[in-house]
Structure 1
Amino acid sequence: MFVLISAPILRLSDPMKKLLTIALLLATTSSLFAQQSDKYKREAETVTDYIQEKFYDSKSGVYYKTTKHERLDWVWLQSVMFANLAAAARIEPEKYGDKLDAYFKALDGYWDDKAEIPGYEPGLTKGNGHDKYYDDNAWLAIAFVEAYETNKDARYLKRADATQTFVLSGWDDEIGGGIWWHERHKDGTKNTCANGPAAVGCLVLAEHEPQKSAALIQKARDIVAWTNSALQDDDGLFDDRKVVATGEIKRGKLTYNSALMLRANLGLYKATGEKAYLDEAIRIGKAADWFLDENTGVYRDALRYCHFMIEADLELYAETGDTHYLKRAQHNVDELYARWEANRPDDMMSSACLARVLWLMSEVEVK
């Protein structure tokens, strides 16, 4: 709503006029973004409720992979839906808090507490499995910390800690360090997709476990240092994995690899105050324009990968105030939602990824 300024105002000094103009512009911008935030919240709710309707299995308490309901989804795909519900429950606790809690309990179907170091199997398990992926577990550890921050339920933090313990057990000194992709060394590689989220997991846990904080921050330093030396390209972005036996780097850059390393650097900056980490996060953020389609300005990767970069964009914007990252995230979210409305995907994860970033966009504060 705009109000005409009466004549006496016009007699104000030029500096006063400028201040008044700026105040009006800020008020208008704030109002417009509040409307945008409401839009993102409505869209997030639409997508989340669609997932609940089309993919939820009331018997198991988890989600099907596709609308055909032929089988339940793998645990790393379930982890994205859990992160989505954690964000939803933070914003709409009365509607989604119980759903988050029920889902947390249902994920016990994937939890192998009979293993020497417990962790999540990719599918439902009876225990003593040997098919655990360190990256699957890293995503869940991060999401459980977020759930804990939502309602301070100690069960989430306890499970996050146990899950992160499994993740860090994947580190050894072959090729100078790094976390393996798979507990039985399937593929023989150490991957950015395991090391990036492992570092982030250390840092988010460190905020809530003061007795372990120093050790977790140091471990995050070690993981980031190794991943930088082993898998970072000259442009700042990250390749996929390194073959331990030969030292060969498997080339190919995906948004989620660079996104988690960006977040890890941001986390280390916040934990240590060392500006070099912030500078590195900004370098990765700028380099990520490479992932954008030159015609659409949308990340080229599938939603299962690029939603992580949108989240990293929002974190980098929150830290720096650089609107380039906000605009990049906003453009992607708007276009991806339009595509979703036009043709709703058959798989659960694509919708969960979109809903997750819509919830996050609804929380953004414009600087």
Structure 2
Amino acid sequence: MRLVALLLFPALLLSAVAAPTSHLEQATEVMASIQKNFYDRKSGLYASKSGGKDPELIWGSGVMFSAVVGAARNDKQYRPVMRKFFDGLEGYWDLKVKIPGYEPGRTQGGNDKYYDDNAWMVLTFLEAYELTGESRYLKRAEETLKFVTSGWDEELGGGIWWHEAHKGDGKNTCVNGPAALGCFRLARFEKDAEAAKWNAFGEKIMVWTVKTLQAPNGLFADSINVKTKEINHAQLTYNAGLPLRAFLSLYARTGERFYMDEALRMGKAANSLIDGSTSAYRDPIKWAHLMVEADLELYRATGDKSYHERAIKNAEYHYETWKKSPAPDLITQASLARELWLLVDHETPVGIEFWKKSDKPKAIK
């Protein structure tokens, strides 16, 4: 038995050394797997399923784009991948309408668009612009946000619809949260008058969302049915992460303590979204990764290490799950890659410096 153990020891040791242990190694491993199993070099797009040929829909493509941006920040070989991916997404951009926007799939025009899908694109394109300084990312973020905010009307006192065609009759936190944050983030790159306009619109969205959908514990309900006025009280991680980040953005720009207090209240309440058996958020990672991003922003804003630790626990659980059995769908794997690259950002000089600058608001003269 001892001889067998001695013979096995070198192999076991080699396996232990070879296993990725740092977040950088893990992010690199997951990203390489995605490139191998989902990426189409010819089109620059990613398949919806591992080994498949059908391109991912715009929601999953947006998550994947954010993963590519994170990768490109830490590994320059992904910069050309990001550019080609952006070009490939033109196939989703509907130019046959008064206010263009991204359709769920590659467009022939006239399909029902999701305002929340487009709101995610605003945020990731602004991050790409901050990283590269390439104006086309900023231009498309501006164009896309104009489409998102065109979904606002005064039914029920305001709010942005979930669907352009009002399918389901819902106005949802999942669009109003990122839309408000998109307004605040875009304002940082605009001239003073335009910046003031976008900040004001973002504040209007937040006022309506807080009034209509915020629950007593500080988190947000999923949606309200405009026709029946019935509220879907389900509390999901991505409906917490984006309003929380919007509050942090408001605090950074105004210095008003109320906004930080609300962000902290939400950060504490998010413990209710944790699954005690895993120490990770109970939702699928396609939603939960957005709360992980909020945890990291709250950590940067407060220095409270518990938020960083909560983010790490989620990423570790999601990575271990991936190692055991990689999910066949792109959006799940892209969400993990995004989480891991964000953690890498908090461990590398380039990432730390990027978010130090990115978290700063624009000073309006």
Which residue pairs with 2:113 in the alignment? 132
Shift of 1:210: 2.4
Which residue pairs with 1:257 in the alignment? 239
Equivalence map 1:72-221=2 (5 Å): 72-93=55-76, 95-127=77-109, 129-211=110-192, 212-221=194-203
Q: In structure 2, what is the Cα distance between the partners aligned to 1:227 and 1:38?
A: 41
Structure 2 segments unaligned to the other structure (5+ residues): 1-19, 353-365
Shift of 1:365: 5.5
* CA deviations over 1:51-97 (Å, ceiling 9, x no partner): 1110112343211111251522110110000011111111112x100
Equivalence map 1:14-33=2 (5 Å): none
Which one-letter code corresponds to 2:272 in the other structure?
A: W
The 8 Å contact of residues 178 and 195 in structure 1, kept in 2 or not, is answered as yes
Which one-letter code corresponds to 2:285 in the other structure?
A: L
Q: In structure 2, what is the Cα distance between the partners aligned to 1:70 and 1:88?
A: 23
Shift of 1:228: 0.8
Which residue pairs with 1:323 in the alignment? 305
The 8 Å contact of residues 37 and 51 in structure 2, kept in 1 or not, is answered as no
Which residue pairs with 1:360 in the alignment? 342
The 8 Å contact of residues 333 and 354 in structure 1, kept in 2 or not, is answered as yes
Which residue pairs with 1:336 in the alignment? 318
CA-atom RMSD in angstroms: 1.6
Q: Taking every aligned residue pair, what percent have the same amino acid on both sides?
A: 48
The 8 Å contact of residues 160 and 176 in structure 2, kept in 1 or not, is answered as yes
Which residue pairs with 1:47 in the alignment? 30
Shift of 1:335: 1.6
Instruction: Say which SS state the counterpart of residue 190 (structure 1) adopts.
Output: strand
Instruction: Say which SS state the counterpart of residue 22 (structure 2) adopts.
Output: helix
Q: In structure 1, what is the Cα distance between the partners aligned to 2:344 and 2:249?
A: 22
Shift of 1:261: 0.6
Q: In structure 2, what is the Cα distance between the partners aligned to 1:172 and 1:274?
A: 28
Shift of 1:104: 0.4
- TM-score, structure 1 normalization: 0.87
The 8 Å contact of residues 298 and 332 in structure 1, kept in 2 or not, is answered as yes
Q: In structure 2, what is the Cα distance between the partners aligned to 1:186 and 1:60?
A: 31
1:57 aligns with 2:40: yes
The 8 Å contact of residues 38 and 362 in structure 1, kept in 2 or not, is answered as no
Instruction: Say which SS state the counterpart of residue 242 (structure 1) adopts.
Output: strand
Equivalence map 1:243-254=2 (5 Å): 243-254=225-236
Q: In structure 1, what is the Cα distance between the partners aligned to 2:70 and 2:280?
A: 23
Which one-letter code corresponds to 1:195 in the other structure?
A: N
> If you compute each CA radius of gyration, which structure gives the higher value, 1 or 2?
1
1:300 aligns with 2:275: no
The 8 Å contact of residues 44 and 81 in structure 2, kept in 1 or not, is answered as no
Q: In structure 2, what is the Cα distance between the partners aligned to 1:309 and 1:227?
A: 18
Instruction: Say which SS state the counterpart of residue 52 (structure 2) adopts.
Output: coil
1:232 aligns with 2:214: yes
Runs of 4+ in structure 1 deviating by more than 3 angstroms, as ranges, are: none
Instruction: Say which SS state the counterpart of residue 191 (structure 2) adopts.
Output: coil
Equivalenced residue count is: 329
Q: In structure 2, what is the Cα distance between the partners aligned to 1:73 and 1:130?
A: 16
- TM-score, structure 2 normalization: 0.88
Q: In structure 2, what is the Cα distance between the partners aligned to 1:60 and 1:113?
A: 20
Which residue pairs with 1:286 in the alignment? 268
Q: In structure 2, what is the Cα distance between the partners aligned to 1:251 and 1:278?
A: 24
Q: In structure 1, what is the Cα distance between the partners aligned to 2:42 and 2:168?
A: 34
Q: In structure 1, what is the Cα distance between the partners aligned to 2:51 and 2:70?
A: 27
Which one-letter code corresponds to 2:65 in the other structure?
A: F
Q: In structure 1, what is the Cα distance between the partners aligned to 2:59 and 2:97?
A: 19
Q: In structure 1, what is the Cα distance between the partners aligned to 2:62 and 2:278?
A: 29
1:350 aligns with 2:322: no
Shift of 1:357: 1.0
Q: In structure 2, what is the Cα distance between the partners aligned to 1:283 and 1:365?
A: 27
* CA deviations over 1:334-364 (Å, ceiling 9, x no partner): 1211111111111111110001110110111
The 8 Å contact of residues 189 and 241 in structure 1, kept in 2 or not, is answered as yes
